[in-house]
Chain A
Amino acid sequence: DIVMTQSPDSLAVSLGERATINCKSSQNILYSSNNKNYLAWYQQKPGQPPKLLFYWASIRQSGVPDRFSGSGSGTDFTLTISSLQAEDVAVYYCQQYYSNPFIFGGGTKVEIK
């Protein structure tokens, strides 16, 4: 199985400041034939199901604010919130869909400092 490791486990950021979440896969999840990274990012607010933010590592899902960005390739990926808003308090998960079983990272809890 491909192991997905997120860091940090939690972070507290002041409103308007940048938040950066890292995700590392134990194997390359870039498919060379199509140059796509099989990685998604989700946001889960308390009491709600996860919500897709990014797919193919950097393609923003419709409706996601542009203060969110996804980057990275191969085995190292980053989710960045450029200017943290109160409504961004949530747990964020990365997930690989390169090979079965599809594994999620352990999650990163983002709070307001």
Chain B
Amino acid sequence: QVQLQESGPGLVKPSETLSLTCTVSGGSISSGGYYWNWIRQHPGKGLESIGYIYYSGSTYYNPSLRSRVNISVDTSNQLSLRLRSVTAADTAMYYCARAGVHYYGSGKPWPSAFDLWGQGTMVTVSS
């Protein structure tokens, strides 16, 4: 069965770049049929969608983070998140998640609900 596991540094200095990886096991991230997402949760708070990537390479980023974020997929079956110029406000639990693909009548693909989540990785931004 497919599993997701986030990894990365737990502590990042202000103004630096946060880099996280989500390793997908039990399935190929490039085989199609899913959108791959990053979501974060500030301590004691709700959930915020950061963005996603489709197997074709097309991406979407939340406008609140668009100027600082990049999501990519590499050949080692990993999903990556890079968030530049971090501040304390970026301190959060970061999750990767899979979303199914739904097709509109026109054949346009669109993400469905997040049906599989990683355990998350906590990132603290502090000097």
Contact = CB atoms under 8 A, between A and B. Distances in A.
Interface of A: 31, 33-34, 40, 42, 48-52, 55-56, 61, 93, 95, 97, 100-107
Given A52-B115, A101-B60, A101-B64, 15 more contacts: A33-B105, A34-B104, A34-B105, A40-B114, A49-B117, A49-B118, A52-B113, A52-B116, A93-B46, A95-B113, A100-B60, A102-B111, A104-B46, A106-B46, A107-B47
Contacts of A61: 115
- Best-surrounded residue of B112, B114, B118 (most CB of chain A within 10 A): B114
Contact of A49 (B46, B60, B119): B119
Contacts of B115: 52, 55, 61
Nearest to B100: A55
A40 B64 CA distance: 22
A51 B114 CA distance: 8
A102 B117 contact: no
17 contacts: A33-B104, A33-B105, A42-B47, A42-B114, A48-B119, A49-B95, A52-B115, A55-B112, A93-B46, A95-B113, A95-B114, A97-B113, A101-B60, A101-B62, A104-B48, A107-B46, A107-B47
B47 A104 contact: yes
Nearest to B51: A101
Contacts of B112: 55, 97
Interface residues of B, number: 24
A103 B62 CA distance: 10
B49 interface: yes
Contacts of B60: 100-101
Contacts of A48: 119
Contact of B46 (A31, A100, A101, A105): A105
Interface in B75-127: 95, 97, 99, 104-105, 110-120
B26 interface: no
Nearest to B99: A97
Contact of A40 (B63, B105, B110, B113): B113
A105 B97 CA distance: 18
Nearest to B49: A102
A103 B114 contact: no
A55 B97 CA distance: 15
